[in-house]
Structure formats: structure tokens, C-alpha cells
Amino acid sequence: MRTVLTRGEWTALEAAHAARVDAATAGHRERRADGRTHPVEDFLFRYYNHSPARLRRWHPGAGVVLEDAAGTERAGWRHHRVVGDGVELDVGSFLAARGSTVAFVGGLLEATLSRPPHLGCFGLHEWAMVHRVPADDVRHAGWPLRLGERGTDEVVERHTVRCTHFDAFRFFTPSAAPLNQLRPTRETQAALEQPGCLHAGMDVYKWAFKLAPLVPSDLTADAFDLARDIRVLDMQASPYDLRELGYEPVRIETPEGKAEYLGRQRAFTVRSNALRRRLLGVLEAADARAAPGHAEAAKNQSRRRSSTESPGREDPATGRSGGGCVSLPHPSSGGARER
């Protein structure tokens, strides 16, 4: 069944989405124009490698016909087709090209939703990323460590470190990696991902934008808002002193800081799981639309593929060939390594 939007209806939705994204990205765009960096917000654009311009592009998702769009640029967009004087997403074309990624993401979302949250990591991944590293060589070297080098190292060493997220663990320093109770890899991602993880919560945004135009832009924008809110806690609980930017530290080295972190982590778990369910619903509806009458079989087949296939030319975990999210060079090599 299709939803048909008149030109007035869909252009209004398009404009509202653009205005929402413009407001959310205004600070980043202004700083970028001036050549300024921001240790909290830049992450959402540099690490996830998704620009404000791409986030701004509006997609209604599958099963929506945009009337009077055949003469617009949308008619030439990849995985779209003209229907009379309208344009809609060609779901079959999209799944033929991106089926392995859809299967991987669907399997990962289901696996994550099936598990209880692990609460109690206290954001120690950020501390483990600077463990026994000179202060002038840390990722955000322009910002001081709240407890100094030795105090930072002691926080890591007197806590239990149990990071489940590969794309956080891979940035641990050589001295911190052996302290982690787990050894996450790309291959074990679906087996370890759990909904209490802040980075898994931010990654819902990654899965949403990587599956555009199948995923409606309102869902992607909601996931972006969640990722931005999580990133704030991620850096408030980090070893850096960012009070100059207005971020009061969450002092996870104290009982009070731990309690605050846990409360906010629980709330983010609820929000991220709600978005996972919405995103999973989009993927399952696409399966059903591509194969009417065989939705359950398509769903089961796609989930089986997600647990058995290895990445081919396009890595389903990243949507790109051969790697994770963008890994920027270390400052000593002339760039900025970003976490």
C-alpha cells in the first residue's frame, strides 16, 4: 500500500526537515567556516563521516509517492523511479544493491534488543584511550586532563574495564587494551553489542543514515539528536576538563559521579532501544514490500545471512569498503585522530 503526498505536502515536510537540520548543525557549520574545532560536536561529523548537507537531504522512506516530482532532481536519484508524474523509492533496486548491509544491520539490531543493558562501564573507554600517554599526545591535546596524567592512569587501573564495543576498544592504548575484560572484534560485534553501551546508542544514527533513502529522514534526525545527547555525556564523563565549553564534568571516579552516569545511561538505553525498534520496523517492512506474502521468510533469510556471511566488497558494518568509521590520523602525522 502506498501513501501519496501532494507537492504541497511533501515540500512542506522537506522544508521542515531542512530547517531542523540547519538548526542542529549551525554551530558546527560556523566553526568549520572559521577553521575552529570542537571536541564534543565534531565527532558526529568527522568520525561518522556524514556531512550536514547529506543529513539535510530529506527522504520519505519506502511506499511514499511524491506527486509532481517527476520533473525534479529526485527523479534521477539512485534507487528512485518515476510513477506517473510522481517519484518513489524503488525498494527492489535498493535491496538488490544494499541487501547485505540491510541484513547485517537488521541482525545486529535484533541481537542488541534481545539483551539486557550492561550498566556500569562508567565511560572508562575514554580514559583507556589516554592511558599512559603523555598529556601533549592525547586525542584532544588542546584540553587539560582533569586529574593529570598519573591521576587519569590510576582511574583506569583501579576500575574494572569491560568495554563491549569494538569501535571504542580499537582506540585503547597498548597499555589499556589488556585491562579490558573482553576482546571485541568486528567479527564478534553482533555477539557483544548491548543496549547500555553509549557508543552502540550513537551508532543507531550511523545505521540510519547508511540505509538512506530507505530510512525516513525523521528517524535519522531523531537518531542524530540521540547521538548528540549521548556524545555530551561521553565527554562529560571523560578525563578531559571541558568546563570552558560549558560542559560540567561527570566525575565517574566518585560515587556521586557514578550514580549520575548510571541514571543518564539508563535513560539513553530506553531512547536507543525505541529507535532500534523503529529502524528494525523499517527494514522488515522493506522485506515485506519487496516480497509480498513472504515477509516472514524474507526476514528469516536476511537474519540468517547476517550471522553467517563475511563482508565482501562493501563492509556491512560500515557501508564502505574495508574498514570501520573514519579513523583519522594521529596528531603527530598532521591530522587529528578523533574519538
The mean pLDDT value of the chain amounts to 87
Question: Residue 134 CB: number of other CB atoms within 10 A?
Answer: 9
Is the pLDDT confidence value at 298 over 80? Answer: no
CA distances from 110 to 80, 129, 223, 320 (A): 28, 29, 17, 22
Is the pLDDT confidence value at 309 over 60? Answer: no
Q: Residues 19-49: pLDDT tens digits?
A: 999 999 999 999 999 999 999 999 999 999 9
Is the pLDDT confidence value at 320 over 60? Answer: no
The three cell numbers of residue 326 are: 573514519
> What is the distance between the alpha carbons of residues 251 and 260, in angstroms, rounded to a whole number?
9
Q: Cβ distance 68 to 84 under 8 Å?
A: no
Is the pLDDT confidence value at 86 over 50? Answer: yes
Q: Residues 145-204: pLDDT tens digits?
A: 999 999 999 999 999 999 999 999 999 999 999 999 999 999 999 999 999 999 999 999
What residues are paired with 145 via a beta bridge? 240
pLDDT category of residue 317 using cuts at 50, 70 and 90? low
Is the pLDDT confidence value at 300 over 90? Answer: no
CA distances from 128 to 192, 205, 302 (A): 19, 24, 36
Residue predicted with more confidence, 322 or 123: 123
- Chain centroid, CA 189 distance in Å: 14
At residue 315, φ and ψ (nearest 5 deg) are -75, 115
Q: Cβ distance 223 to 208 under 8 Å?
A: yes
Closest CA to 69 of 88, 86, 84, 55: 86
DSSP character at residue 319 = T
Q: Residues 237-284: pLDDT tens digits?
A: 999 999 999 999 999 999 999 999 999 999 999 999 999 999 999 999
Q: Which helix (H) or strand (E) holds 82?
A: strand 80-83
Looking at residue 14, what is its pLDDT? 98
Question: Residue 129 CB: number of other CB atoms within 10 A?
Answer: 23
Looking at residue 137, what is its pLDDT? 73
Residue predicted with more confidence, 188 or 310: 188
CA distances from 197 to 165, 167, 189, 268 (A): 7, 11, 12, 9
The three cell numbers of residue 52 are: 550536514
> What is the distance between the alpha carbons of residues 200 and 246, in angstroms, rounded to a whole number?
25
Question: Residue 312 CB: number of other CB atoms within 10 A?
Answer: 9
pLDDT category of residue 59 using cuts at 50, 70 and 90? very high
Looking at residue 302, what is its pLDDT? 45
What are the domain boundaries of the chain?
101-333
At residue 83, φ and ψ (nearest 5 deg) are -125, 100
For the ranges 203-207, 305-309, 314-318, the lowest mean pLDDT is seen at 305-309
What would the mean pLDDT of 299-323 be, rounded to a whole number? 42
Residue with cell 541514571: 263
All residues at 6 or more sequence positions from 60 whose CB lies less than 8 Å from its CB, including other chains: 5, 10, 13, 66, 89, 216, 217
Numbers of helices and strands, H then E, in the chain: 12, 4
pLDDT category of residue 56 using cuts at 50, 70 and 90? very high
Looking at residue 332, what is its pLDDT? 30
Looking at residue 311, what is its pLDDT? 34
All residues at 6 or more sequence positions from 51 whose CB lies less than 8 Å from its CB, including other chains: 45
Q: Residues 212-232: pLDDT tens digits?
A: 999 999 999 999 999 999 999
Residue predicted with more confidence, 292 or 101: 101
Global confidence as pTM: 0.86
